[in-house]
Amino acid sequence: MTTNAELLSRRNAAVVRGIGHTTPLSASKARNAELWDVEGNRYVDFAGGIAVLNTGHCHPKILAAVQEQMSRFTHTCFQVVMYEPYIALAERLNALAPIQGPVKTALFTTGAEATENAIKIARAATGRSGVIAFTGAFHGRTMLASAMTGKVVPYKKGLGPALSEVWHVPFPTDQNGVTVEESLKYLDFIFKADADPSRIAAIIIEPVQGEGGFHQAPDSLMRGLRRVCDEHGIVLIADEVQTGFGRTGKMFAMEHYDVSPDIICVAKSLAGGFPLSGVIGKAPIMDAADPGGLGGTYAGNPLACVAALAVLDVFEEEKLLERAEAIGKRLHASLRRMEGRNDLLPISDVRGPGAMIAFDIVKDRSGREPDPDATRRVIQRAHENGLILLSCGTHANTIRILVPLTAEENIIDEGLKILETALAA
């Protein structure tokens, strides 16, 4: 029998060090919210492939759609010979997106491709080059995406200078000690000190920061950004790579706000585990790039497109938006009880809309000093006891829960019990 340790040794010899690992596990099989490693050990999955598996591992409807498509063809390159699943998916996304007016979609492969192409489209539409992003943000690891990412370690450290004409505004959270008013004032400082608004093509923001710690953008911030963009002709981009497709209790997190973006970036749970991303936006903006300026050899792969169409069917048939709200309430209630217990490590600030839930591990119940070392220990204890769990946050002390929305209640409760054990002081 192949062991986790043997595969980890082979991985260390063959795969670059720069690709990190949360656990030393190697998967053998997975179903819904459960995973088995190569040694036969079973785990409850609260990571979901980093928010990729809102419909769970190997959903039968998604697998059936992909298997049927595989019997037809697996690739043509959409730019060479088009196919209906790409067009049908674009039509459905256009109808679902909370964007005013006619909408169009371009499909790609990864989240970073989505954010980078959104900026390319905004630049083509405005004739400008500057970009405003936020501290704590994560927009990907490619050159422009990493420049927009508002976190140096580990995404920029030692990897050379970032691209120019990208500025960061402090994201408003209590932990950062930054208010919405201060964020908007800092944005005005950038306009006065570094870049006239007439140079800015886009402002990009995650409605709920992912790697930054699951902090939701306040309503007043979104309204302020919409106002600034309207005043100066700037494209407002919502990066919904992690928040999209039901995670927050809405199909898109921007549905929680009373303003709409010009462009939405999607990926992760769009295709139930198959690599697919997209940029959805106002048609006049989306059509600004010339033919050939967008695309990619594998962009909008037919297998991923039929998987995404099946994902949207599953959301309707299994009422997963309602399920996300129910899961969120269950997680909130359980974590609030843990927060009040003196026999567990001190945790604080249980937060998140829908089923996009997180909390912080701190050093003292009376304060908010981050405890990243304890957080690492909790992650390790959890996987040793059968729970796959992820951390995040600018101080590396946030535990995030991304359990599939299709998970059975007894599986969720089992995972919470393991988490409780891992938090034992």
Same domain, 158 and 178: yes
Same domain, 45 and 107: no
Each residue's pLDDT tens digit, 276-325:
999 999 999 999 999 999 999 999 999 999 999 999 999 999 999 999 99
| Residue from 211, 155, 215 nearest 183 by CA | 215
Query: Would you say residue 67 lies in a domain?
Result: no
Q: Out of 287, 317, 347, pick the residue that ends a domain.
A: 317
Each residue's pLDDT tens digit, 98-148:
999 999 999 999 999 999 999 999 999 999 999 999 999 999 999 999 999
Same domain, 212 and 257: yes
Q: CATH number, domain at 210?
A: 3.40.640.10
Query: Would you say residue 254 lies in a domain?
Result: yes
Same domain, 234 and 370: no
Query: Would you say residue 66 lies in a domain?
Result: no
Cα(61)–Cα(142) distance, rounded to whole angstroms? 33
Cα(1)–Cα(136) distance, rounded to whole angstroms? 42
CB contact at 8 A, 115 and 263 = no
CB contact at 8 A, 389 and 414 = no
Residue 409's identity, in one-letter code, is E
Cα(27)–Cα(41) distance, rounded to whole angstroms? 10
Same domain, 200 and 123: yes
Query: Would you say residue 153 lies in a domain?
Result: yes
Domain count, the chain: 2
CB contact at 8 A, 108 and 305 = no
> Can you give the residue range of the structural domain that contains 92?
73-317
Same domain, 245 and 306: yes
Query: Would you say residue 65 lies in a domain?
Result: no
Same domain, 219 and 342: no
Helix axes 320-339, 302-317, angle to 10 degrees: 70
Q: Is the pLDDT of residue 425 over 70?
A: no
Each residue's pLDDT tens digit, 58-110:
999 999 999 999 999 999 999 999 999 999 999 999 999 999 999 999 999 99
| Residue from 52, 59, 50 nearest 32 by CA | 59
CA angle 322, 325, 327 (to 5 degrees): 110
Same domain, 301 and 405: no
Contacts 24+ apart (CB under 8 A), 284-292: 284/102, 284/125, 285/121, 285/122, 285/125, 285/235, 286/103, 286/104, 286/105, 286/106, 286/121, 287/104, 288/121, 288/124, 288/125, 289/120, 289/121, 289/124, 290/124, 292/79
Q: Out of 317, 344, 367, pick the residue that ends a domain.
A: 317
Same domain, 117 and 42: no
Instruction: Tell whether pTM > 0.85.
Output: yes
Same domain, 309 and 324: no
Q: Out of 258, 292, 317, pick the residue that ends a domain.
A: 317
Same domain, 290 and 412: no
What number is the average pLDDT over the span 219-237?
A: 98
Query: Would you say residue 63 lies in a domain?
Result: no
Same domain, 38 and 78: no
pLDDT at 175: 83
Query: Would you say residue 64 lies in a domain?
Result: no
